[in-house]
Amino acid sequence: MGFGKGCHLHLIDGSAFIFRAYHALPPLTRKSDGLPIGAVSGFCNMLYKYVEGNHGPDAPTHVAVIFDKGSHTFRNDMYDQYKANREAMPEDLRPQIPLTRTATEAFNIACKEKEGYEADDIIATLAVQARAAGGRVTIISSDKDLMQLVGDGVEMLDAMKNARIDRDGVFEKFGVYPDRVVDVQALAGDSVDNVPGAPGIGVKTAALLINEYGDLDALLDRAGEIKQPKRRQTLIDHADQIRLSRDLVQLDENTPLDFTLDDLEVQDAKPDQLMPFLAEMEFRTLTRRIADQLGVEAPEIKEPEAPQDAPEAPGFDDATYEHVENADQLQAWIDLIYERGYVAVDTETTALNEMTADLVGISLAVNAGHACYVPLTHKQGGDDLFGSDDLAEGQMPLETALDMLKPVLEDDSIVKIGQNMKYDAKIFARLGIHVAPIDDTMLLSYALHGGLHNHGMDTLSERYLGHTPIPIKPLLGSGKSAKTFDQVPLEDAVKYAAEDADITLRLWQLLKPQLHRAQVTKVYETLERPMVHTLASMERSGIKVDRDTLSRMSNAFAQKMAGLEDEIYELAGRKFNVGSPKQLGEILFDEMGIEGGKKGKTGAYATGADVLEDLATVHELPARVLDWRQLSKLKSTYTDALQDHINPDTGRVHTSYSIAGASTGRLASTDPNLQNIPIRTEEGRRIREAFVSEPGKTLVALDYSQIELRILAHIAQIPELKQAFDDGIDIHALTASEMFDVPLDEMTPEIRRQAKAINFGVIYGISGFGLARNLRIPRAEAQGFIDRYFERFPGIRTYMDDTKAFAKEHGYVQTLFGRKIHTPEIGSKGPRAGFAARAAINAPIQGTAADVIRRAMIRMPAAIKELPAAMLLQVHDELLFEVDVAAVDDLIGVAKDVMESANDPVVHLDVKLTVDAGQGQNWAEAH
């Protein structure tokens, strides 16, 4: 039947079905092989229910399920930030996408998509064609972007709520009728799709304006007539951006299609097509139900439970670890991997530093207890004390192995599982292999158990598998005679390396299914897993450090220290090791008889900076020691040590970030730590002059302004603080003004300083004692400040009490993004409880800030990919970039925007995030 009057076309938004199915269901897997099929299952159930419900007089005559195809559409060409905020697709959903197409076809329903277009465009085109032919259309979706199509026989149906949306329904949602929906969306923008719109204008205001002026063009032409000055200026300033937004939300009604409406005629399901598919997916209930309904026999679905088919996972004693020594054997493993769809991978290397380490061998595991090791560059042993450079027997050539594994490691449909995958990914990246997609057992554990224990393989294996891994120490030895892994005999290496892959696989099988129940799937997918490649790339970039600058500083420091040492010996009356706190304490308090020495728990005198600062008022020696210590610190930790970290190949310093090190979600930087480069003192700050850009490039530093206090203002709902941040008022001055009843214009630096200490104290779970010590004021006075603070900002007290209560009840606290930080000691008795309570108060604030910058970092590579720029470092609330001089402004524009909107769209903040920018030839200038 040709499509025409009396016909009724149903257009189903396929992607909406898929995502709804994915999020509504736990992560089901196919019983026989573990293939994730939760979303496919939900999708099929929805299709089934849809078909079932279509027997009334209103039944469709034509139907199609429309899908998105490809991530790049013509809208990205118009605006490169379009949908740039979108979260990456969850790893276990990706392999299910093609199966939803197969499912649609199995139901004998037309299944349509087109490269470079969104499903919405195809839906628009078909709806317009159907309307022109005189038929009716129902769009099955609740996507507001489709509402512009409603009217003249086109309606929407929200399948979840079973609610029809007609012209009046659209008016309810947008305040305008469908023909003006695009205008309203252009003004209001959309944070989910990252359509900019007009800043500060939402749907309500947009509708008001459109209704007053008729349409968007008229509004923009006559923007000068708008009474409200702020609104007027916004529309004038952002006219181009608003027009661009309109083009982005306007659906393309002329999508070129290679089929016609006639091709979409409804057809009965064919059992011989549908039943085999359902059986193959092993949907037992659905297969039976549909078979009954179609009046056919349900195909048998084998239960893979027979012991000979799938033996119980062997214990570690019964595991088989294979030594792969040629291409045929490796090919057999690759075949196994493709059968499975996933593989645990581990690399063995010559060192712990992945920027300098060389690959020695690769281990693989596909089943618990079934793993192999592929040694590649093990050296020939021998009596020779120095070993031999000759390769050991029983190895295939490195090149051959990499050529064979590269397609697997880069295959979209094979999940590569690792423990601390960033390490392996960097090793492979240096060999030209981009490992993806990946899963990481360390990060699974971090998302599930953050705060409970560390997430190293030994810990996880002991805790969750009850197995102590083979220790590496006996294989490598220690001290001067320590070997590297390429000198380990193959027999030992196979056992050790294959076991690591085996453990990793077992941990993955155990931990991955727990994400959903612990409700941390989103945390893992959006805050942990994507960090692996983002950080790997930053670490590989490194930052240029000028050796000569450091070396000169080291010499200068050495000279000054020598001078200070002479003075110190003079003052002390004898020589001693200035670097020894023990000796210093004895000199000060025993020999020189200075009063007030306090011994710590180990019986030694305390000689920390705070103690020496107090003593500096009564004697010169402590002041000299303080100066000496500062120089000693700068020299040993920075100017000397950093030189050793300059990579000879790149001339740059490559730190390593631990993703799962800090309990709150912060990163930590090691080897070297580039998150604690001095800045607070002028002398220390000059060390940053050694961190430089390449010629023709500039360093750009972008840092969040007061992000933790902003988050506190939001979480604790403090109206005064929120207002101050909105108005751009100095937050510490504002706090001081509120607390001490001093008007802002009479603020003194001293009062402000005290308020600042209190603000920070609050973030840390303030105590009278701590504040008193910090401000060096009597404890009672400090307590008075705190009382006043709570009085002025009662939300803070509520937040602290609520957070402690939550931690006690649940054993964890959460960030705004759902990250859990466990607080196992919250119920302790004694001082431990105090520690735990303060940590619990701090964690949601520090952790939310950490989540925000993680989100910014994850989005950054895509956002700046067209720019000659690289993201180099993260320092908790700061990102450092290196960019061609000519592109500095572009970079600042894009990166700042990504950072300031990093919370969108999943978390709304009442307080805006602002980012300050700096630039220069070195890090001192850029900051």
684 binds DNA (CB under 7 A): yes
668 binds DNA (CB under 7 A): yes
754 binds DNA (CB under 7 A): no
63: enclosing H helix or E strand: strand 62-66
Q: Which stretch binds DNA (CB under 7 A): 189-197, 243-251, 382-390, 608-616?
A: 608-616
CB 766 within 8 A of CB 786: yes
**Measured from the CB of residue 503, what is the shortest distance to DNA in angstroms?**
22
CB 314 within 8 A of CB 385: no
Q: Which stretch binds DNA (CB under 7 A): 194-202, 221-229, 317-325, 596-604?
A: 596-604
Binding track, positions 388-417, relative to DNA; x by CB under 7 A: ------------------------------
Interacting residues with DNA between 190 and 229 (CB under 7 A): none
**Measured from the CB of residue 572, what is the shortest distance to DNA in angstroms?**
14
How many residues sit close enough to DNA to count as binding (CB under 7 A)?
75
Nearer residue to DNA within complex by CB, 469 or 761: 761
CB 113 within 8 A of CB 69: yes
Q: Which stretch binds DNA (CB under 7 A): 61-69, 288-296, 631-639, 882-890?
A: 631-639
CB 872 within 8 A of CB 881: yes
> CB under 8 Å to 693, separation ≥6 — which residues?
544, 699, 882, 921, 922
**Measured from the CB of residue 560, what is the shortest distance to DNA in angstroms?**
14
With CB under 7 A as the contact rule, the residue among 766, 800, 807, 880 that binds DNA is 766
With CB under 7 A as the contact rule, the residue among 19, 177, 338, 760 that binds DNA is 760
With CB under 7 A as the contact rule, the residue among 233, 380, 676, 748 that binds DNA is 676
Nearer residue to DNA within complex by CB, 148 or 663: 663
For residue 748, what are the CA distances in angstroms to 736, 752, 755? 9, 6, 11
With CB under 7 A as the contact rule, the residue among 471, 769, 866, 889 that binds DNA is 769
580 binds DNA (CB under 7 A): yes
Place of tokens 């957070």: 803
**Measured from the CB of residue 724, what is the shortest distance to DNA in angstroms?**
20
**Measured from the CB of residue 575, what is the shortest distance to DNA in angstroms?**
13
- Which of these, 888, 446, 512, lies nearest to 667 by C-alpha position? 446
**Measured from the CB of residue 146, what is the shortest distance to DNA in angstroms?**
43
Q: Which stretch binds DNA (CB under 7 A): 149-157, 366-374, 667-675, 740-748?
A: 667-675
How many residues are recorded in the chain? 927
132: enclosing H helix or E strand: helix 119-132
| 76-88 CB burial, b ≥16 within 10 A, e <16 | beebebbbbbeee
Place of tokens 């048998």: 300
773 binds DNA (CB under 7 A): yes
**Measured from the CB of residue 762, what is the shortest distance to DNA in angstroms?**
7
664 binds DNA (CB under 7 A): yes
User: How many Cα atoms are found within 13 Å in the side-chain-facing hemisphere of 124?
Assistant: 21
Place of tokens 């903040």: 909
The gap from C-alpha 250 to its chain's centroid, in whole angstroms, comes to 32
Q: Which residues, in sequence order, are bridge partners of residue 416?
A: 343, 438
Nearer residue to DNA within complex by CB, 367 or 754: 754
633 binds DNA (CB under 7 A): yes
Interacting residues with DNA between 469 and 488 (CB under 7 A): none
With CB under 7 A as the contact rule, the residue among 162, 228, 481, 602 that binds DNA is 602
582 binds DNA (CB under 7 A): yes
With CB under 7 A as the contact rule, the residue among 33, 318, 671, 866 that binds DNA is 671
Binding track, positions 824-863, relative to DNA; x by CB under 7 A: ------xx--xx--xx--xx--x-----------------
Nearer residue to DNA within complex by CB, 154 or 880: 880
Q: What is the DSSP letter of 32?
A: T
Nearer residue to DNA within complex by CB, 739 or 843: 843
d(CA 489, CA 800): 57
d(CA 87, CA 72): 15
CA angle (863 as vertex; 862, 869 as ends), nearest 5: 95
Q: How many CB atoms lie within 10 A of CB 155?
A: 17
**Measured from the CB of residue 785, what is the shortest distance to DNA in angstroms?**
10
What phi and psi, each to the nearest 5 degrees, are found at residue 859? -80, -20
What phi and psi, each to the nearest 5 degrees, are found at residue 692? -125, 165
> CB under 8 Å to 214, separation ≥6 — which residues?
none
> CB under 8 Å to 135, separation ≥6 — which residues?
3, 4, 5, 6, 7, 8, 9, 61, 62, 153, 261
Q: Which stretch binds DNA (CB under 7 A): 41-49, 269-277, 374-382, 655-663?
A: 655-663
**Measured from the CB of residue 922, what is the shortest distance to DNA in angstroms?**
15
Nearer residue to DNA within complex by CB, 714 or 927: 927
d(CA 846, CA 842): 6
With CB under 7 A as the contact rule, the residue among 424, 439, 878, 882 that binds DNA is 878
Nearer residue to DNA within complex by CB, 217 or 802: 802
With CB under 7 A as the contact rule, the residue among 81, 129, 461, 630 that binds DNA is 630
876 binds DNA (CB under 7 A): yes
d(CA 222, CA 216): 10
Q: Which residues, in sequence order, are bridge partners of residue 670?
A: 656
- Which of these, 6, 5, 9, 4, lies nearest to 149 by C-alpha position? 9
What phi and psi, each to the nearest 5 degrees, are found at residue 353? -85, 115
**Measured from the CB of residue 759, what is the shortest distance to DNA in angstroms?**
9
636 binds DNA (CB under 7 A): yes
With CB under 7 A as the contact rule, the residue among 6, 98, 600, 719 that binds DNA is 600
Q: What is the dihedral of CA 373, 374, 380, 382, to 10 degrees?
A: 10
With CB under 7 A as the contact rule, the residue among 669, 735, 803, 901 that binds DNA is 669
Nearer residue to DNA within complex by CB, 350 or 767: 767
